[in-house]
């Protein structure tokens, strides 16, 4: 749907990104190189974490993040292990779990925060649970203190799908850095855009080196001479350029994406500030609204978008809201994928559906979200005041 009032996403580029791209074109170096490396360094510095590994999409970031946990000297995961995930997220939160033979246990979310329901999460953890994959939905951090308290005495790892939440903070720490590793997306509609792109952040030396190898064919070429995968590399460049030690992929980003990212990350704090100002206005105009629930912020959200969920007994249905948004030329979409267990693809996955998912089911039937942006959209948001029955 094309709209003129409030689209889901708009470009955040200006002449700086165009100039950066032109310099790459003039260099005639397009495959992953120094610009990607510089972006990774800027990204990790922004997050105050040790490492950032850029890949070609946020989906690839999730894939490599899961893969890396199989190849540490003492593997964090093996096929058949149970992984707990929230019932609402994007498809490629879940698909890498299936692709690596893991058992997926879906846990319900809170209607207001749209993140893990901590009480239900607590009940879902068993002796088979080896990993919790927290998803910070629409920019909103999870209840991380509570999650960490649940697993502190257990051999359970925490990772984050933070693809929608770059720039969010839980207390004083950026989301995506609160677990063993975290994934990010730099797709067009996200907080920064590198055309296509994704990043994995980690403070773990071994996981970082595994990610670097898996990203490019599983070879040793990009590893340091002394490393945690092979011990050390020989001085024979011919041998080391084509030595394959892990079952990897080719998920490398382009230099164009790295160059754009360098410029985008410089603007990120300003982008987040504006998104938060838009959010403050959105919360103000939706305060005491008789029809809609909005997302309750945990700590400091970067407000990817604005959810609208029909209140029970409000006298309206989602189709009434959709009709209104169409009339006002405001773009909308489901809250991510809705409850993922209702997607037809679920029949192919090894899943545990034993948990109560009533909140996710409610969101699936009664929720949607509209866009937020890096520019002031407060006047556009005022259109929401016109809704009535």
Of residues 184, 158, 214, the one with CA closest to residue 59: 184
The residues pairing with 351 across neighbouring beta strands, listed in sequence order, are 104
Give the phi and the psi of residue 295 in degrees, each rounded to 5.
-65, 130
Q: Is 295 helix (H, G, I), strand (E, B) or coil?
A: coil
Residue 190 annotated to the active site: yes
Residue corresponding to tokens 């959810």? 307
Alpha carbon distances (Å) from 147 to 154, 176, 294: 12, 14, 23
∠73-78-80 over CA atoms, to 5°?
A: 175
Give the tokens for residue 383.
């259109």
Beta-carbon count within 10 A of 305 CB: 27
Q: Write out 212-241 in H/E/C secondary structure.
A: HHHHECCECCCCCCEECCCEECCCCHHHHH
Residue corresponding to tokens 């011990």? 231
Catalytic-role residue among 98, 143, 190, 217: 190
Residue corresponding to tokens 């879940």? 94
- Residues annotated catalytic, as ranges: 190
């Amino acid at each position: 749907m094309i709209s003129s009032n409030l689209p889901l996403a708009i470009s955040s580029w200006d002449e700086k990104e165009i100039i950066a791209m032109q310099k790459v074109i003039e260099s005639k170096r397009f495959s992953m190189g120094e610009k990607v490396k510089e972006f990774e360094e800027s990204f990790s510095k922004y997050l105050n974490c040790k490492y950032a590994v850029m890949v070609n999409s946020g989906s690839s970031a999730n894939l490599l993040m899961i893969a890396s946990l199989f190849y540490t000297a003492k593997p964090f995961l093996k096929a058949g292990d149970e992984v707990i995930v929230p019932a609402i997220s994007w498809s490629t939160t879940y698909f890498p779990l299936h692709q690596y033979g893991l058992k997926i246990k879906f846990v319900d979310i809170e209607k207001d925060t749209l993140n893990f329901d901590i009480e239900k999460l607590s009940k879902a953890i068993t002796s088979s649970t080896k990993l919790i994959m927290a998803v910070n939905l629409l920019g909103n951090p999870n209840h991380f203190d509570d999650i960490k308290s649940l697993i502190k005495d257990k051999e359970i790892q925490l990772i984050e799908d933070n693809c929608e939440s770059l720039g969010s903070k839980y207390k004083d720490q950026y989301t995506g850095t609160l677990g063993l590793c975290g994934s990010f997306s730099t797709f067009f509609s996200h907080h920064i855009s590198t055309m296509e792109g994704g990043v994995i952040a980690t403070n773990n030396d071994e996981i970082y080196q595994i990610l670097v190898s898996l990203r490019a064919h599983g070879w040793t070429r990009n590893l340091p001479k002394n490393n945690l995968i092979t011990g050390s590399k020989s001085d024979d460049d011919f041998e080391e350029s084509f030595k394959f030690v892990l079952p990897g992929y080719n998920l490398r980003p382009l230099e164009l994406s790295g160059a754009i990212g360098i410029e985008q990350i410089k603007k990120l704090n300003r982008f987040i500030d504006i998104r938060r100002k838009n959010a403050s206005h959105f919360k103000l105009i939706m305060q005491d609204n008789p029809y809609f629930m909005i997302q309750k912020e945990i700590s400091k959200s970067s407000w990817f978008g604005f959810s609208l969920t029909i209140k029970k007994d409000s006298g309206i249905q989602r189709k009434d809201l959709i009709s209104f948004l169409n009339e006002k030329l405001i773009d909308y979409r489901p809250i991510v994928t809705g409850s993922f267990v209702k997607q037809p693809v679920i029949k192919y996955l090894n899943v545990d559906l034993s948990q109560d998912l009533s909140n996710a089911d409610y969101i699936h039937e009664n929720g949607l979200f509209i866009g937020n942006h890096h520019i002031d959209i407060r006047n556009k948001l005022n259109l929401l005041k016109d809704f009535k029955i």
